[in-house]
Amino acid sequence: MSRSIFFAHANGFPSATYGKLFAAMAPEFDVDFLEQHAHDPRFPVDDNWNALVDELIHHLEQRSEPVWGVGHSLGGLLHYHAALRRPEYYRGVVMLDSPVLTFADQLFIRAAKRFGFIDRITPAGRTLGRREVFGDAQEAFEYFSGKTLFRGFDPDCLRAYVEHGLRPAAQGLQLRFDPATEISIYRSIPHTSPGRPQQLHVPLAVVRGRASRVVLPHHVRLVRRVPRGEYLTVPGGHMFPLERPQDTASLLRQLFQRWQQHSPDKEGA
């Protein structure tokens, strides 16, 4: 069994926020990640996330073996695009509440960018004006606890977000993930793809939180066109990896074990 996982986080949530999920994957798996995507000046946010995919590939090509690519939301789509471009770096890809966009989705996104309503169809509009500064960690914890997005978080994951999602500042604590970068990522969501789903050469699983409205039925139909694609559902919403980290780890472990058992390398051994 390959032990290497490369995790990519959701927009605005530094990877250390997922520490409880990573710990639950041990000792069978080693989880590697970038602390924050889109913050390396060599790979600035650009339209269609091309540079962000370049950033991910840059780190994967330095590894000694292919990885299990796991991504939440933003991270899932980055892994999907990277696997279409460089499948040799992957054993499989898992998109946690991250949709494989259809051609119709892409046309709609392109129109939204062109005619100026992209903020209405992505979370960018809700991110504008978000509070960035807090007096201390307790104030931040209480603030986030009252927000709908965080309400279902595992308490340890919420504490991890407060610990790793904020940094010291003159006024107390400030968001570590640059809000302007977060908005830019939403506004540049891809309206193109480096390939068609049928061209993906590695196993793909799209896992949807049952209460989420991100992965829709037409996305599921597209996943079924992937030669080794599958669709799974789990309890929770869009943030289910941080709401149910141990259950998510169990699902990933079972998925990788099954994929490994049915891998072409194993069958040809």
Structure confidence by residue, pLDDT tens digits, 151-198: 999 999 999 999 999 999 988 999 999 999 999 999 999 999 999 999
Give the confidence band of 268 by pLDDT, cuts at 50, 70, 90: very low
Give the confidence band of 264 by pLDDT, cuts at 50, 70, 90: low
**Which pTM was predicted?**
0.95
The whole-number pLDDT of residue 267 equals 44
Cα–Cα distances in Å, from 91 out to 2, 108, 186? 9, 32, 28
Class of domain 4-267 as given by CATH: alpha beta
Least confident of 80-89, 106-115, 255-264: 255-264
Find the mean pLDDT for residues 245-252: 98
Domain residue ranges of the chain, discontinuous segments joined by +? 4-267
Say whether pLDDT at 205 is over 70.
yes
